[in-house]
Amino acid sequence: MLVLLPPSEGKAGSGDGGPVALERLSLPGLTAARGAVLDALVRLCRGDEDTAAEVLGLSPGLRGEIAKNAGLPTAGARPAGEVYTGVLFDNLGLATLGAAAYDRAERSLLVFSGLWGAVRISDRIPSYRCSMGVKLPELGALGTYWRSVTAPVLPEVADGLVLDLRSSAYAAAWKPAGEVASRTATVRVLQERDGKRTVVSHFNKATKGRIVRDLLLAGAEPKTPGELMDALLELGHQVELAAEGTARKPWQLDVVVTDVH
C-alpha cells in the first residue's frame, strides 16, 4: 500500500545535522528537478524581499520565511516525518508509533511537496516554505512542473493499492492514470449531524491522520479499494463507497463522522 499525503504549512525547525543531500533522497528520478526548484527558490529569496513575499503568498508576519528559504542549501536537515507538523501529522502521531508500525510508515507514506516533489518520512530535509500553488519565476506553476517529472517516476513505486489523501493542490503534482487509477482510492470526510451530511475542512485532516495511524497500527495491508473499505470498517470507521474507480478516475470512499475534534 502506498499512502499519498499533503505536507503541512507549519513545519518544525531545521535540524542540527548536515544540509540536505539531494542524491540521498528517495525517488532518485526526481533529483534533478528537486535541484532546479531548490536553486530557483533560493535565488528568489536572496533577491528582492517584496517580490519573494508576493510569489510565496506570505503575509507580513511570515516574512521571516524568506530568509529561511535563502539559507536552505546550508540549513540542517532532519527526517521529513519530524519536519511536517499540523493537524494531519499530529493525529498520525509518527513519533508515538511502535517500531513495527513506524517501519510500515517508512515503507508506505509519501509526502508531496512544492519543493521536493515527494519524499519518504525518513528523507532528511530542512524546514522550508514553498507550497505547490506557488509559481516560481523561472519554472512556472509548481503543480504543472512536477506533474511532468513525476509521471514516469511514481508509477514505479505504486505497485499496489494507492490511498490518495492529498488536497487538490498537491494532487495536481501527480494524477494516477490507467491501471494505477483503477486501484487508487481517495477519501472524502463527511460530518453527519441531525440527519444531514456536510463536507468538513479542518477536521478532514484530523480524520485522515487517524485513518492512516489506525491502518499502520493494525498492520493492515489492503491490496484493493474494496479491501481498504473492509479494513477501515473493521477498525471502527464508518465508510461508504461513493464511486467506483475507472481507468481515468480513482475510487472514492466517504468516511462519515459524527464527532469532529
Strand partners, 113: 117
Cβ neighbours of residue 121 under 8 Å, at least 6 residues apart? 79, 80, 81, 94, 105, 106, 109, 111
CB 151 within 8 A of CB 214: no
Q: What's residue 260's pLDDT?
A: 59
Q: What is the pLDDT of residues 128-158, one digit of tens each?
A: 999 999 999 989 999 999 999 999 999 999 9
> Could you tell me the three cell numbers for 153?
517516476
Helices (H), 72-188: 80-83, 87-92, 99-108, 142-150, 168-171
pLDDT tens digits for 186-243? 999 998 877 788 887 768 999 999 999 999 999 999 999 999 999 999 999 999 999 9
